[in-house]
């Protein structure tokens, strides 16, 4: 549903600063309305991560066309899985 790219903050950067998130939603996902819906859902989940205290990483989520038919909960689970994987490394 999405591909995740993550880069830990290097020494010298503020490793305790809140995580930063970016989103890539191409035209393959759907029309502008669908792309904005997916972006808003992903942004909402990213805001939850910041409130939960995710720090020291820059992450970019690239939505795949399958995300157009995914529910909010499916997108949240997919993004949570990616963040857990990054934090455990």
Task: Determine the pLDDT at residue 54.
Answer: 87
Give the pLDDT score at 11.
59
- Return the CA Rg of the chain: 13
Q: What is the mean pLDDT of residues 50-66?
A: 92
Q: What is the pLDDT of residue 61?
A: 96
Residues 5-24: tens digit of each pLDDT: 988 876 566 667 888 999 99
Residue at token pair 């995300």? 67
CA 33 – CA 79 distance, rounded (Å) = 21
Look at 7-11, 31-35, 64-68, 81-85 and tell me which has the smallest mean pLDDT: 7-11
pLDDT in tens, 29-45: 999 999 999 999 999 99
Nearest CA-CA partner of 83 in 56, 69, 67, 68: 56
| Main-chain dihedrals φ then ψ at residue 20, nearest 5 degrees | -115, 140
CA distance 15 to 75: 27
């Amino acid at each position: 549903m999405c591909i995740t790219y993550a880069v830990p903050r290097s020494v010298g950067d503020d490793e305790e600063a809140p995580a930063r998130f970016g989103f890539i939603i191409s035209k393959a996902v759907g029309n502008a309305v669908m792309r904005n819906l997916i972006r808003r859902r992903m942004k909402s989940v990213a805001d939850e991560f910041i409130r939960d205290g995710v720090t020291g990483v820059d992450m970019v989520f690239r939505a795949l066309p399958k995300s157009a038919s995914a529910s909010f909960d499916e997108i949240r689970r997919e993004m949570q899985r990616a963040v857990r994987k990054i934090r455990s490394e």
